[in-house]
Structure 1
Amino acid sequence: MDDFVRDKLRQWRLSAWIYRFKDQEIDTESFFGLEDEDIKDLIPKVGPRVRFKRRLKSLRQQHKQNQETEFVPSEEMETLSYLNEFSASTSGTAKRKLEPEFESSAEKPAAKQHCGAVPFSEARILSDVKKIMVHIHSKLFQQDNNKLNNFLKNEITKLSIDKREMVGVFGKTGAGKSSLINAVIGQANLLPIGDLNACTSVMIKVEANMEDKYEAEIEFITKEEWQDEVWSMCQYLCDHMDQENDDEDGCQDDSDDNEDDDYENKLSALYGKDRKQTKPDEFMDPKNFREIPEFLQSKTKTLTFHSAEMLSEGIAKYTKNDPNQGEGKKLKRLYWPLVKCVTVKVPNIPLLQHVTLVDLPGNGDRNKSRDQMWKEIVGKCSTVWIVAFITRSASEIESWQILKSTASLMGNGGECQNIHFICTKSDVFEDFQQHTAEDRLNLILDRNMKTKEAVKEEFKKLHNVKKHFSEDNFEVFTVSSKEFLVGELKEHSEIPKLQKVLQDLNDCHSETLNYVSGAYGILSLIQGTSLRGTVGKTEDVYDELEKNKNSQLELIKKSLDETYSDFEKCLNEGVEKSKSCCENTLRTVLHPRRSGRSFWRTLQCVVQNGGIYKPRKKQEINLNMKLTSPLANSIDEEFRKTFPTKGKNGPFNGVINKFSLDTEKLKSKYSGVDLLLNFLKTEEEKIQSELNKVIRDRKKTVYNSLTKTIEESMKPCYKKAAGFSKADTLKNIRETIETHVKKSKDTMFDKAKDVMLTELKSLEDDILESVKSTMEECLELSFRTDDHSIPDVSTELGIVEKLYDELKRNTKDAVN
């Protein structure tokens, strides 16, 4: 954020939102390019948002009329002064004098890097280039509007786009997730620990805060969702009481008791122990939500604290289902049943600069919006940590069940590249302190080695998981959060290795390189276009580039068409297998062993929730996924080869990353067009980067289309089956589902196949169109734009070229 943006927000009486603009790095150039969706994210409250949009519109109109930018004069003068000094220093006529933060890394000794800190030289380069591009943006607004000018302004605005990497943290209650997160980020008292009753339904995100304060953002489910949930819970409890004496054989599912306890806990948390005396129409009374008016207003609640301890205590009522807070403190009301997600923002955590840690419940949630958010986040995790107590890590059923149930969401249906199985409390032994320090160390090292081997052997048995992840994607760590923070054996805890994992995720964020490369390309286009009139044979260069472009597009199309054919073959086999085994698959779900008459309640929950039921402390029942599994199994191997989780290979990413107009060869053949060819080279790199992101996101849509289509096909029978109650419910539900599948199987699986192929073809077409249209526009602007009403940027280009070369050298040295 720069002074211009801060001053405008203050002038418009919107100071409360400054921290959001700063957190999202909104500067002057991006301020003028804000879209409606961006503004909605920055200012969630309707009133202030309306005022902001009206004033921004007025400012834009004034901006256009004056044909000049709305920069603060002092900032513009500072940038011009900086450019003059830099230019003079590089020509040898004067020594460059910069503020300390812009001082070249060559002019002072390199400081020792803190874990997670951005290298000093990289930060300086990014800052320098951003200053220059603000200045160029100002120049362009003073020129006549034309196609090239508009393109350049738009490209500068798009330079600052960034994405956070997500690390999902799974593990059963008591495994040490909170202690692990606290230790890794160096905040011992941030998340509450030692509470075996912590609620597992609330997602907690941990991010770095740009402001020097601790914050928590509480996102609620909607009041309509809670109203429906309360009605369903009350209806279930009433039905359960009515049917308690109907089970003549005495055989009852354990899940019934779990369900009752779960619903009772939810209602009692919010409405107190006397909730049974609360009438149905009183549950939504505003008096129950006096402390959280944001819930009724469908707004996010933001809390600010001065310390990690205060934050931990302040969010307890939104995250924990245990009212006891220690030292005699007891919470009267708990709001976790209403919470969708809690985002904790912590100052001075370089490791989380581009990374978000997400403490995730094991298998989603019954609430649809919470479950949808859970699935989206799991699908966005580039790394997943599964946490288990070391003494039970290899045999911990819940940990392995989490991995088995989420593998398809994270792998082919997501973007996860690494699974880290983290064994906690590696220093916990019986009579541990009675041993000598040397014996304690030997005990730890011996058990750690044996544990790692046992866990890796267990992973090898997970055949369905290995359809999505190879053994190269799986790594085991042994840690002791306590020893790392205060113990004498801290050097033997592998928490530093996990910190390096986060550091590597930060480093893989090529924000600086992408920004500087993009800036270099833009300046090359401006200067190259202005000099084009002095260069001959530009049409010859254009013709060769056009020929190269068409040749490369043909290669892309050929590779993508071959992929489509391979997919079609696998899916055809999967359809036939699905048709032949779907009735047997149904039988395992509808007629499980040891199911008593009370099983109707479980099955009723399945149909009421669209084929999915998540019993507490038991394996999820997902009828849609069961029906889809033969079809998914038929495509999993081919899908993983096509969209690998690691690297830049595969029919999609591989052919995109090889795309080239062969600009380096043309530089040696034609003189005077180096700058325009430099621009085209940076545009190649940009479209490759953008398409890799598109492929990463869209492949999830392609893969998940199978289950989604089956869900849609099964909806009518679920709706019908959910209407049965009391007498003969179990029989009616079973018959309804079995009859529907028998009638639909000849079309349902074919439709799922067709939808996946349609999604794949759509992705192929979009990739080809994106490459074709982008390169055609760039060629047109580079070689056939008649209007040269653009500024001279020779000084700025020279500076950015030097900074770009320095950055590439630093990046290469870091890799080597």
Structure 2
Amino acid sequence: MEFEDSEGANSTSSDVRRNQTPETPTGRKQRKRKLKDPSITAEDYELWKNYDKWEAETKKIVEAVLKKLEDSNSNKPNEEDLLLTLKKKMQQLKEKCLQENIYVGVFGQTGAGKSTLLNAVFKEKSLLPTSSSGACTSAIIKVQSYEGRKFKAEIEFLSEQNWNDELKLLVELCGKEDSDDEVDDEDDMEVETAKNKLQTVYGSSGPEKSYEELVKMNIYQNIPKSGKKILREDNAEELSRKLDPYIRSQPCQTSKIYWPIVKSISVYIPYCQILPEGVVLIDFPGLGDSNKTRSEMWKTNLMNCSSVWIVSAICRAVNEKIVHEIFGTSIKSATNGGRCHDVAFICTKTDDIEEQEYARDYRLTNEEMNLTDDNDLLEYDGKQKQSCIRHRNKHVKETMKKQYEEKWTKLMTKGSTQLEFSKDDLCVYTVSAKQYWKLEQKEPSNIFAETEIPSLRKHIIDLYMKERKKVLNIYVSEVWGMLLLLISLNQNKQNEILKSRFNTINKAFQMSLEDFNEHLEDICRSLQDHLKHGVREAEKKSGQVIQQHIEPRGGRNYQGFHKTLKAICRNDGVFNSAKFGPIDINHDLSKPLHQKIDHFSDSTLQFNKGRRHSMEGRFNSIKLSLTNIIDEPLPTKSTAENAWVWKCRKDFMKTEINGLFYDLKKQITERKQHFYNAPSLSVQCSMKPAYEEATRKKGAGVLPFMKKILKEHVEEKHEEFFKDARDNAMEQFNDMKEKLKKEIHGRMTITLELGFSQWSGHNPLPDFQKEFDQITLIWNEVKDLSDSD
């Protein structure tokens, strides 16, 4: 198979919607292509159209205002500065992105039917390759709609250096020179996984070759220099066929197979009439990966997911261990700075049932199954199967809902942690893609009754609409506030009322800012105390933690464990073992610090609470204080003109304050990830010399030497590197703290300057009344929608 550096190969997947290519037409014609699907209610459809309309019209108003300002000028220095500030504000509003991607993470074991599920959700039966046989990519697959004309896939490869690093690990796993086993580990899962990758990329003799021999084969000579490959096809089936070598190995596949060196794949559906542009469904291959680059990408993408889907075949869903693991991982991610709003359990293959056996086990009577002697054999079997399916669906839903609500409660109580969503946001869906396609072709009116694929689409759309409304509300209000300011600026005399008001409000703001800064310093000291306790606990437990990691899991005499430990060291302490599951020595060593951060975050950084000492409570206090002062009535002697000007200015300042604190919350959510990750990353850095030394050990009997190196390094250095971990976490928090101070001071200062500014020059500013009237109509509609909730 030949590679070609396709046009636009250097663009990232998140930029596709914004960086238009020749095949991605711009303009409002594309916006008219809206969803037409049974899962979209008439109300949602109308609201959807309104969101698009309000956004487009508001952006158009902003562009018109900016054009007028750019055509304006003044000869007075102070007015030139004011004009420049106004232009800058409008330029920021013009460039503001209102449709950030919303990510839905899809997890589940191979064979659970994830690809089949995604194909059904997107109503493209042949989009993602599906197979019951097996080996599959380690890469993350993202699926989304876009405004192009063709089905497209963007394949990103591991860098040559990243692959060579993994190659060393794979060769060592397959090698025998450091083996002290009495028998070959042919059944060892780690070895089999390594062999599979080497055979896939280098042929059947790959596992027998040395690292140097494999590097000389230079497989990257056929990989585009950009590191990306673009595929474009007219239909989903042809794209799926061409994607095969990058996703999996097929028994009869004759073309070159590349999936082991693929980092991620982004699939784009043109003119999708099912789900909105900007919603990205991410198919996660498993709980981490042996490659450090993919593993880091896995964690980052999970952190950004607004929703998590846990997929399992219905026959195993209630008791499947992997479901519990994924749920725990998802909750852990959400507590550690993630953006998860809800978790959905999706039970697939609901039509796969032995109805007679099921009816016997659950003692279902003919009456309960609505069966009569009048039914012929075919009708009898069909009704019995449908009754059993519905009974099992209901039973599994109730069982899983109860089970995970209890698990949720235990997790929350144990960790004393609160999330941005509750256990009421845990949903269970029972679906059959096979049944969906049958009904979609023959009986579309029964799709809702017989399958929950449309319900999943509705689930996504509700998530999207909720976020879209929130963002649009803030944006339209900011534009409306700016127009209020602009139409009130053309005053040809100095307004004394504004001058006196400025002194009062500026004084109140400065006091609020001082209180806020003092609050930040207080919580900084609180965090320092939390982390000090965390350091002491980590020091006490470090010996026990490293001992648990350097011994075979489960206390068994597992002869191949030295290979697993070598793989862990090769990957700097992090490895997704096929036999033992995800392993992260760095996180486990620093776990006491993470727990202290959790406790600190629960009382300080969560935004589902407005407690006085939390960040949310402090933001609310500042907003309330400033709003109350702004709302104080003018003196009774004020003229009607003064009253009108002041109403414009105070409404402008209120919208700016709301926009400021909305943006600050977003920044905190984004930066929390760095803060949470700091301790384990710091411990990883401190442990790196030991990992590297252990990796270099070769020959028979290597396991005791590796164990000794790791154990002695922790014993000798633990005080030093836990304090470094504390300092790195504090550095990240201090960085966030200083940026918050700078942001709130800078933006509030500009807000007050603009709110009390005057334009007294001989050349009046342009007339913005038309634009103000237009934005007022939009704002009233958007505000009414929010007020009705």
Structures share fold, TM-score greater than 0.5: yes
For 2:607 and 2:503, how far apart are their aligned partners in 1?
Answer: 38
Aligned match of 1:482 in 427, 434, 437? 434
Aligned match of 1:725 in 687, 692, 698? 698
Letter of the structure 2 residue corresponding to residue 345 of structure 1 = Y
Structure 1 residues 115 and 784: CA distance shift in structure 2, 3 A? closer
Aligned match of 2:246 in 285, 296, 318? 318
Deviations 1:589-642 (Å, cap 9, x if unpaired)?
Answer: 112311345422221222121112222253122111221223323442442343
Shift of 1:454: 3.2
For 1:99 and 1:422, how far apart are their aligned partners in 2?
Answer: 36
| Residue 498 in structure 1 maps to residue 439 in structure 2 | no
Matched residue, 2:479: 519
Question: What is the count of residue pairs matched by the alignment?
Answer: 713
Question: CA contact under 8 A between 1:532 and 1:673: conserved in structure 2?
Answer: no
Give the alignment of 1:286-301 within 5 angstroms. Answer: 288=219, 292-294=222-224, 297-301=225-229
Give the alignment of 1:416-815 within 5 angstroms. Answer: 416-431=340-355, 435-436=380-381, 438-459=383-404, 460-461=406-407, 463=410, 467=415, 471-487=423-439, 490=447, 491-507=449-465, 508-510=467-469, 511-531=471-491, 533=493, 535-557=495-517, 559-592=519-552, 593-644=555-606, 651-660=614-623, 661-662=626-627, 665-666=631-632, 671=643, 672-784=645-757, 790-813=765-788, 815=789
Aligned match of 2:89 in 139, 142, 155? 155
For 2:54 and 2:148, how far apart are their aligned partners in 1?
Answer: 23
Give the alignment of 1:110-259 within 5 angstroms. Answer: 113=42, 119-144=48-73, 146-159=80-93, 160-162=96-98, 163-237=100-174, 240-243=175-178, 246-248=180-182, 257-259=188-190
| Residue 386 in structure 1 maps to residue 331 in structure 2 | no
Structure 1 residues 340 and 524: CA distance shift in structure 2, 3 A? same
For 1:15 and 1:596, how far apart are their aligned partners in 2?
Answer: 51
TM-score norm. by structure 2 comes to 0.82
Higher relative contact order (CA 8 A, sep 6+): 2
Q: Which range moved further: 363-372 or 423-432?
A: 423-432
Letter of the structure 2 residue corresponding to residue 651 of structure 1 = S
**RMSD value over aligned CA atoms?**
3.5
Report SS of the residue matched to 1:366. Answer: coil
Aligned match of 2:232 in 283, 304, 311? 304
For 2:50 and 2:633, how far apart are their aligned partners in 1?
Answer: 31
Structure 1 residues 372 and 235: CA distance shift in structure 2, 3 A? same
For 1:213 and 1:515, how far apart are their aligned partners in 2?
Answer: 32
Deviations 1:735-794 (Å, cap 9, x if unpaired)?
Answer: 121111112222332332333233323323322321111111221233246675642212
Shift of 1:123: 2.5
For 2:9 and 2:47, how far apart are their aligned partners in 1?
Answer: 26
Letter of the structure 1 residue corresponding to residue 193 of structure 2 = D
Structure 1 residues 645 and 333: CA distance shift in structure 2, 3 A? farther
Question: CA contact under 8 A between 1:529 and 1:782: conserved in structure 2?
Answer: no
For 2:676 and 2:10, how far apart are their aligned partners in 1?
Answer: 40
For 1:20 and 1:401, how far apart are their aligned partners in 2?
Answer: 31
Structure 1 residues 283 and 647: CA distance shift in structure 2, 3 A? farther
Report SS of the residue matched to 1:191. Answer: coil
Report SS of the residue matched to 2:263. Answer: strand
Question: CA contact under 8 A between 1:385 and 1:419: conserved in structure 2?
Answer: yes
Shift of 1:312: 1.4
Matched residue, 1:31: none
Shift of 1:692: 1.2
Shift of 1:734: 1.4
Report SS of the residue matched to 1:188. Answer: coil
Question: CA contact under 8 A between 1:417 and 1:646: conserved in structure 2?
Answer: no
Shift of 1:802: 1.9
For 2:462 and 2:768, how far apart are their aligned partners in 1?
Answer: 36
Shift of 1:261: 2.1
Letter of the structure 2 residue corresponding to residue 269 of structure 1 = T
TM-score norm. by structure 1 comes to 0.79
Letter of the structure 1 residue corresponding to residue 167 of structure 2 = V
Question: CA contact under 8 A between 2:104 and 2:308: conserved in structure 1?
Answer: yes
Shift of 1:288: 4.5
Report SS of the residue matched to 1:217. Answer: strand
For 1:422 and 1:112, how far apart are their aligned partners in 2?
Answer: 22
Letter of the structure 1 residue corresponding to residue 305 of structure 2 = C
Letter of the structure 1 residue corresponding to residue 266 of structure 2 = T
Question: CA contact under 8 A between 2:177 and 2:699: conserved in structure 1?
Answer: no
Matched residue, 2:202: 271
Question: CA contact under 8 A between 1:173 and 1:200: conserved in structure 2?
Answer: no
For 1:741 and 1:768, how far apart are their aligned partners in 2?
Answer: 38
Shift of 1:124: 2.4
Matched residue, 1:337: 260
Structure 1 residues 642 and 311: CA distance shift in structure 2, 3 A? farther
Question: CA contact under 8 A between 1:133 and 1:519: conserved in structure 2?
Answer: yes
For 1:158 and 1:384, how far apart are their aligned partners in 2?
Answer: 33
For 1:24 and 1:531, how far apart are their aligned partners in 2?
Answer: 45
Letter of the structure 1 residue corresponding to residue 583 of structure 2 = I
For 1:543 and 1:763, how far apart are their aligned partners in 2?
Answer: 30
Deviations 1:199-223 (Å, cap 9, x if unpaired)?
Answer: 1401110111112321111111112
Shift of 1:554: 4.3
| Residue 399 in structure 1 maps to residue 323 in structure 2 | yes
Shift of 1:473: 4.5
For 1:608 and 1:574, how far apart are their aligned partners in 2?
Answer: 28
Question: CA contact under 8 A between 1:351 and 1:506: conserved in structure 2?
Answer: no
Question: CA contact under 8 A between 2:607 and 2:616: conserved in structure 1?
Answer: no
Deviations 1:545-567 (Å, cap 9, x if unpaired)?
Answer: 21332343345345544544443
Letter of the structure 2 residue corresponding to residue 748 of structure 1 = F
Structure 1 residues 407 and 512: CA distance shift in structure 2, 3 A? closer
Structure 1 residues 362 and 596: CA distance shift in structure 2, 3 A? closer
Identity over aligned pairs, percent: 28
Report SS of the residue matched to 2:112. Answer: coil
Matched residue, 1:52: none
Structure 1 residues 562 and 498: CA distance shift in structure 2, 3 A? farther
Structure 1 residues 656 and 583: CA distance shift in structure 2, 3 A? same
Question: CA contact under 8 A between 1:23 and 1:209: conserved in structure 2?
Answer: no
Shift of 1:579: 1.9
Letter of the structure 2 residue corresponding to residue 774 of structure 1 = R
Shift of 1:665: 1.1
Structure 1 gaps of 5+ residues are 1-13, 27-40, 49-74, 76-97, 103-110, 325-329
Report SS of the residue matched to 2:302. Answer: helix
Structure 1 residues 620 and 803: CA distance shift in structure 2, 3 A? closer
Q: Which range moved further: 116-125 or 376-385?
A: 116-125
Question: CA contact under 8 A between 2:342 and 2:425: conserved in structure 1?
Answer: yes
Q: Which range moved further: 462-471 or 304-313?
A: 462-471
Letter of the structure 1 residue corresponding to residue 587 of structure 2 = M
Report SS of the residue matched to 2:557. Answer: coil
Letter of the structure 2 residue corresponding to residue 674 of structure 1 = K
Report SS of the residue matched to 1:391. Answer: coil
